[in-house]
Amino acid sequence: MAASDNVTGYDPVWKAMHWLTVAVVLALFLLGGTMSRGTPFLVMWHESLGIFVLLLTLARLLWRATHVPPPLPGGLRPWEAFAAVAVHKLFYVFLVLQPLIGWGLYSLSSNTTLFFGLFPIPKLPLGELAGQAARGVLAGAHGAGAASLAILFVLHAGAALKHHFVLRDNVLLRMAPDALAGALRKLRGE
């Protein structure tokens, strides 16, 4: 496992994958809210971004397996360290499961979507699961997964903002793009 060059912060690849995931998941939330309208263009973007976030998460897990992340910041209480690790692990679980559940829903539909308009997204071989009950279960799981991701997002972002503005430490700066570090420091009055 390669050690990070920056022991106090994340390397540029970690940061790029993190912020790209944030942007894509936020777009998925916005597009997910429009899915009931059934606009084919918006459905194509939602389904394509869902597959993309799955691939991105798998790339993140590979990067994590081959590169040591910086250690947790010192001074965390045991429950805070537990919560930080638990939230990160749960993010990975939901960032894999949520797209897979969505892909299952897509696979049970009669529609075919082109991945970003380029080529058909393949259907998962779900066989006899094609009944309405399976669709209902997957739709419920997809909604619960979205709600879980939203809760994790609020906890994660809230903790980062607390560290930055209340505790005034560098936890947020460890993942912030280098170009924003100065602005973030100014925002907290440095």
| DSSP H/E element including 115 | strand 114-115
pLDDT digit of tens for each residue in the chain (190 aa)? 443 334 468 999 999 999 999 999 999 999 998 877 778 899 999 999 999 999 999 999 999 999 989 898 888 899 999 999 999 999 999 999 999 999 999 999 888 999 999 999 999 988 766 677 888 999 999 999 999 999 999 999 999 999 999 999 889 999 999 899 899 999 999 8
How far is residue 98 from each of residues 33, 79, 91, 92, 162, measured CA to CA in Å? 15, 27, 10, 10, 28
CATH number for 40: 1.20.950
Is residue 173 exposed (0-12), middle (13-18) or buried (19+ Cβ within 10 Å)? middle
Domain that holds residue 130: 2-187
Q: How many alpha carbons lie under 13 Å from residue 110 in its C-beta half-sphere?
A: 2
Calculate the alpha carbon distances from 24 to 56, 103, 158, 165 in Å.
10, 16, 19, 26
| C-alpha dihedral, 86 to 87 to 90 to 91, nearest 10° | -150
Number of domains in the chain: 1
The pTM assigned to this predicted structure is: 0.90
